[in-house]
Amino acid sequence: MPESSDSAATFGPSPSQSSSSSCSSSSSSSSSSALFGKYEVGKLVGVGAFAKVYHARDVRTGESVAVKSVNKHKIVKGGLGSHVKREISIMRRLRHPHIVRLKEVLATKTKIFFVMDFARGGELFAKVSKGRFSEELCRKYFQQLISAVGYCHARGVFHRDLKPENLLLDENWNLKVTDFGLSAIKDPTRPDGLLHTLCGTPAYVAPEILAKKGYDGAKADVWSCGVVLYVLSAGYLPFNDRNLMVMYRKIYNGEFKFPKWTSPELRRFISRLLDTDPATRITVDEIVRDPWFRKGYREIEFRSPEDLFKDDDFEVGKCLNAFDLISFSSGFDLSVMFQRSDSGGERFASAESPEAILDAIAAAAEEEGVGVAEKSGWGMTLGGQNGNLQVAVRIYKLTEDLVMVVVTKTVNDVWPSPDIWENKIRPKLGGLVYESIGSSIGSTSGSSCNDLD
């Protein structure tokens, strides 16, 4: 990033006042042409190697959301499936005003869709690249960043890729942390309690990570926060060189200089953040007690660490884990009625209640002399004449309005007919299947789901 002028950047009216929405809010828009009948997708607002981000509108509430479309084939080919799984696992549990919230995850055979808060102000990087910030503005954003980072650390979550490109701004110019694809969850089974994976963006990576030894994820995040604060106040990176190895040497040795306009208090504070020794580097608890940080600081109340394990959006034991959506090697195409899975079973989407689905399947089976061997919660098993397990039916929650029914079948001689499921029972279940999702996308051009790379 080139050095900017001495003038500090200031922000004007909120984005919602200065620009019109990129998603059409016309009441005449048909929800049937929207993504899963729920989201009208409009302007492309971001592109990455494996995903594209669109501005969208919730057709039920009119709320602006961001839809991140991930190409399943690309992430599998690139070996990044674990990153996507990790991002889903972490983001859907984090509830903090300065962290982008993951609202839901949707999927077709070829795409995975993250529906998230829409940060109308865009990337913080785009703002600071136009000029450095005033010290007061730096303090405001750093306070919000540390509030979010401290919240994550209290839950054993370390971001590991903090940089201005992953810090967004909402319509009120408040900061939102995003992109948890490289995040790590502390593993209590490791005897040293340290992380051992080299990751992050080079200019923001802590020196102990470069040493390729075990490192404390919290201390590494604090270093990255220090680099972010330096960039906001100076307008350029503290460690930068065209030669990557030279830059790494500067990071490892802590070789950087402050611009002349940096106040003594801020110099002292950043020096504590960019301490090359993680043992003496300032901690989050010490940061919030530092005089420079505390000026004008208002603590934000957030939820207790135990809430990491509580899932507001999904009932425990009944929800289809987003990992399963990704791990179905054949994909789950919601536009297909009955789709065969690799395990020899079938699955289909339905808008009916789980109770109604189970009752309908049981009634259809009983008409053919096949009884219910066991029924529990959102699942049941159908048995042949001697009560042996023949068909297992399990129902999982996909969205607020849709469930997925997974049928696993074993055929043997106790069935009245070996193909009774295909020829007798299954044809009676057509009314349960939700047929109209995943076929089109609600944008001004009427794009299909497959157009969202």
Mean pLDDT of 215-244: 93
Residues 316 and 273 in one domain: no
Tell me which of 109 and 63 has the higher pLDDT: 63
CA 439/CA 370 separation, integer angstroms: 35
Tell me which of 3 and 58 has the higher pLDDT: 58
Question: What's the pLDDT at 278?
Answer: 95
Backbone torsions φ then ψ of 319, nearest 5 degrees:
-90, 145
> Would 15 be classed as within a structural domain?
no
Tell me which of 29 and 155 has the higher pLDDT: 155
Q: What is the pLDDT of residues 165-221, one digit of tens each?
A: 889 999 999 999 987 654 444 443 344 444 434 445 788 999 998 887 777 889 999
Q: Which stretch of 273-282, 345-354, 369-378, 439-448 has the lowest confidence by average pLDDT?
A: 439-448
Report the binding-site residues for ATP.
68
Q: Using an 8 Å Cβ cutoff, are 440 and 102 in contact? A: no
Q: Domain of 346?
A: 305-332+342-432
> Would 451 be classed as within a structural domain?
no
CATH number at 363 reads: 3.30.310.80
Name the band, by pLDDT with cuts 50, 70 and 90, for residue 452. Answer: low
Residues 347 and 397 in one domain: yes
The domain boundary, picked from 59, 90, 117, lies at: 117
Instruction: Give the predicted TM-score (pTM) of the model.
Output: 0.65
The SS3 call for residue 449 is: helix
Residues 138 and 217 in one domain: yes
Residues 91 and 131 in one domain: no
Tell me which of 390 and 353 has the higher pLDDT: 353
The total number of structural domains that make up the chain: 3
CA distances (Å), 1 to each of 206, 240, 291, in order? 19, 8, 29
Residues 63 and 76 in one domain: yes
CA 304-308-310 angle, 5° bins = 100
Residues 176 and 135 in one domain: yes
CA 178 centroid distance within chain: 8
Q: What is the pLDDT of residues 267-277, one digit of tens each?
A: 999 999 999 99
CB-based contacts of 209: which residues, under 8 Å, 6+ apart?
198, 199, 200, 215, 220
Report the binding-site residues.
68
User: Is the pLDDT reported for residue 369 higher than 70?
Assistant: yes
Residues 157 and 250 in one domain: yes
Tell me which of 446 and 407 has the higher pLDDT: 407
CB-based contacts of 58: which residues, under 8 Å, 6+ apart?
38, 39, 64, 65
Mean pLDDT of 133-142: 96
Q: Which stretch of 171-175, 224-228, 330-334, 418-422 has the lowest confidence by average pLDDT?
A: 330-334
The domain boundary, picked from 117, 152, 175, lies at: 117
Question: What's the pLDDT at 188?
Answer: 39
CA 148/CA 98 separation, integer angstroms: 6
Residue type, 95: R
User: Is the pLDDT reported for residue 340 higher than 80?
Assistant: no
Task: State the catalytic residue, choosing from 161, 170, 179, 333.
Answer: 161
The domain boundary, picked from 117, 146, 171, lies at: 117
User: Is the pLDDT reported for residue 141 higher than 60?
Assistant: yes
Q: What is the pLDDT of residues 283-333, one digit of tens each?
A: 999 999 999 999 999 887 655 444 444 444 433 333 444 445 544 434 443
Share of the chain above pLDDT 90, in %: 31
25-29, 94-98, 318-322, 325-329 — most confident range: 94-98
Q: Which stretch of 31-35, 299-303, 341-345, 421-425 has the lowest confidence by average pLDDT?
A: 341-345
Tell me which of 336 and 39 has the higher pLDDT: 39
Question: What's the pLDDT at 41?
Answer: 93
Residues 253 and 356 in one domain: no
> Would 141 be classed as within a structural domain?
yes
**pLDDT, the chain, mean:** 75
* Burial class of 342 by CB neighbour count within 10 A (0 to 12, 13 to 18, 19+): exposed
Q: Using an 8 Å Cβ cutoff, are 94 and 152 in contact? A: yes
Tell me which residue of 320, 421, 334, 311 sits closest to 370, measured CA to CA. Answer: 421
- For the chain, what percentages of helix, strand and coil (3-state, to nearest 5) are there? 30, 20, 45
* Annotated catalytic residue 161: yes
User: Is the pLDDT reported for residue 161 higher than 70?
Assistant: yes
Residues 327 and 388 in one domain: yes
Residues 107 and 129 in one domain: no
